[in-house]
Amino acid sequence: MTTPGNIGRYEIISEIGHGAMGVVYLAHDPRIDRQVAIKTIHALHVLPDLEAEEIRQRFTREAQAAGRLQHPGIVTIFDVGEHDGTWFIAMEYIEGETLERYTRKDKLLPVSKVIGLVVQACEALDYAHQQRIVHRDIKPANLMLLKNGRLKITDFGLAKNPTTNLTQEGILIGTPNYMSPEQVMGRTLDGRSDLFSLAAVLYELLTGERPFPGDTVTTIIYRILNEQPPAPMVSNKEIPEYVAQVLVRALAKDPDRRYQTGTALAAALAAALQGEGEELLAEGVGVTRPMRVVARPVPAAAPSVKPEMAPARTVRLGPAPAAARTVAAPKPATRTHPLRVGFMLLGALALVLLVPAAGTLDDRWGRSDSAGAQPFYRTAGILAAGAGGGALPVTPGGSDAIAITWQTSPPGGKIYIDDVETPNGVMHVPKKETATHTIVAENDCFIEKVSWRAGQDADGAIHSIPLKTPKIVAAPVTTQPAGARVLLDGKDTGKVTPADIPVPACGTHAMSLRLEGYKDLETKLEKPGGPVSLTLAKVPVGFVKISAPYPVSIFENGKELGRSGAQIKLSGGAHKLVLKNEELFVERTINVTVQADKVLAPDAGLPGVGTLTVLASPSNCTISLNGHDLGPPPINDFRVAAGAYTIKAVYVPTGETKETSVTITAGGGTRVPFKFSP
């Protein structure tokens, strides 16, 4: 494709970017005498006239809405139009690089730099949201870092005023890895959706890993709806805990539990970077959340399931009628809606997502509830017209079918065949079928999933599935104050409160909470089934002040607490302190008991200081005191703490060694001579 000489009134200088749906050019605007970037959108001419015209009108209205945004952190849109069948947007031309480069583990920016850039993005988004404009596609590639260190958000031309209705229900626009839960569910969006996406970008910039990774769209969306990302400190130990707490809230599934504005998120990040946690507790962060069962097993297309085990075509929202015992793939749509076509042409992602009405999981698997409601389907499915592959429907028994029986071990559990509960565990498949089916076995405490390929068993075969894998529930744990590290059954979960803690559904489990300055709290989870909210008790604090005839450093458990003469804050109770002065060869251990709000001045019992003189003849020797090298003699009036020592001299030419023991007295001087035969 040749570079045009002009697009509208804009004189094309060069091509600076190329995508599947269009090209970006550097151009000159002769009317204003400035450089601009021209983004073109091709292929509208392939649509029927009425559909193309509808897309043009809506595209123009959206570009005009985004063009109202005038902020130093947003790339300005100057113009929108059509030239020879090609639609284009003229926008501010900037030189820089996208943040995509800094999402790789070997290119991560310092934490403080990342926070600074995201705070800039928060400010720009807050401005756009006040204008009732939602970006809907915040991702690293749309965040541009300029040479002067400023950040600009690009591609607001695809933004949407939430009062307009550009997308029909079920059509998604955006990049899957950074979508908010409400976006993937096709719900009405507001600025909080952009802030969720920005938090996902922040997580990736800090860790080099996406918070909701996956090889398929199905896996990504499942994780967005149902899973919490790993604690970011697992990937980057430089991340402060308060920053991690901000991420937990910013990535909340429920928009009401997130920061409500860009200003609030920016303030929390700034406070977290300074180690101030008070900002994090504003706006109801301690509200408890309902329990939910986390991903076990994972969706059919998730990484832990082999490709040949994952049905690609069959998408189900529940079992078929009991009499038919048949699960059929939905029929593909016969006509794509023009709005969906339009936004696909704009380079956005358009998907129809079949998900349950609620974003949480429970321990049902394809079962209806007592009220007769439609069964809950654990796996989010993607309806893609024309997708191929996958298992054939299970058919009723007949002369052309074989029967395979599935049982649980121990007996009494439930069997689900291709997501349909089968009370007797018997499945009927055509004799010639070779497709793969998914078999799930469960009881109250355990669940297993296996794949079975038709054609490998004879009629009447019986399979037993041992139930060994515990069901996992997510127990929402909150503490006052927040930030406590959570241990389960003696093992660190890597999470800090507030957090959803994965807990086996059955049995009694010990939960421990640790927070510096507060007493350790132990509790039992006998029947994990609801939120856990606990209050930590402050550890009483007192002080120790040690006087010494010479400076000593004070240590506890290998950590230096301070020096003699200063008040050292310690928790109430017993402590074992080590006092050291390496120059004087002093090391003494003392036990103290600290009382709340009191200053303890213990007698350190430190020895006095004497002097040591060491001579050697010949002097070509090395001298050591208790194994510490003092150098060559003569050593005159070397100050050392009173006590017993071993002095060793080594004659360098021959390696001859002599050793003696001495006792240094406080205020006294000790003279030690060595004589060697040359």
Query: Using the 8-state DSSP alphabet, how is residue 546 labeled?
Result: -
Residue with tokens 């949480």: 360
CA contacts within 13 A on the Cβ side of 461: 14
3-state secondary structure of 482: coil
**Tokens coding 33:** 């005498």
**Buried b / exposed e along 261-297 (16+ C-beta atoms within 10 A):** bbbbbbbbbbbbbeeebebbbebebeeebebbbbbbb
Which residues face 617 on adjacent strands? Answer: 675
Query: 181 preceded by cis ω (within 30°)?
Result: no
Task: Count CB atoms within 10 A of the CB of residue 205.
Answer: 24
Eight-state DSSP code of residue 343: H
Q: CA-CA distance, 658 to 595, in Å (whole number)? A: 51
153 and 125 in contact (C-beta within 8 Å)?
yes
Give the C-alpha separation, 640 to 614, whole Å.
13
Q: Please tell me which residue in 29, 126, 137, 363 is annotated as part of the active site.
A: 137
Structural contact between residues 483 and 291, judged by C-beta atoms closer than 8 angstroms: no
Pairing of strands 521-525, 553-556: unpaired
Query: Phi and psi (nearest 5°) for 125?
Result: -65, -40
What is the end-to-end Cα distance of the chain in Å, rounded? 92
Other beta carbons less than 10 A from residue 86's beta carbon: 19
How far is the C-alpha of 299 from the C-alpha of 59, rounded, in Å? 36
Q: What is the DSSP letter of 629?
A: E
Residue 93 has which token pair?
Answer: 């031309």
491-496 sheet: strands from edge to edge: 491-496, 485-488, 509-514, 521-525
Which H or E run includes 344?
Answer: helix 338-345
480 beta partners: 535
Q: Does 137 qualify as catalytic in the annotation?
A: yes
Are 505 and 473 spatial neighbours (Cβ–Cβ below 8 Å)? yes
The CA angle 253-259-264, to the nearest 5 degrees, is 165
- Are 415 and 439 a contacting pair, CB within 8 Å? yes
| DSSP secondary structure, 115-133, as one string | HHHHHHHHHHHHHHHHTT-
CA distances from 630 to 163, 386, 535 (A): 81, 84, 56
107: Cβ–Cβ under 8 A, 6 or more apart, which residues? 101
109: three-class secondary structure by DSSP: coil
The span from the CA of 584 to the CA of 116, in Å, is 48
**Active-site residue list:** 137
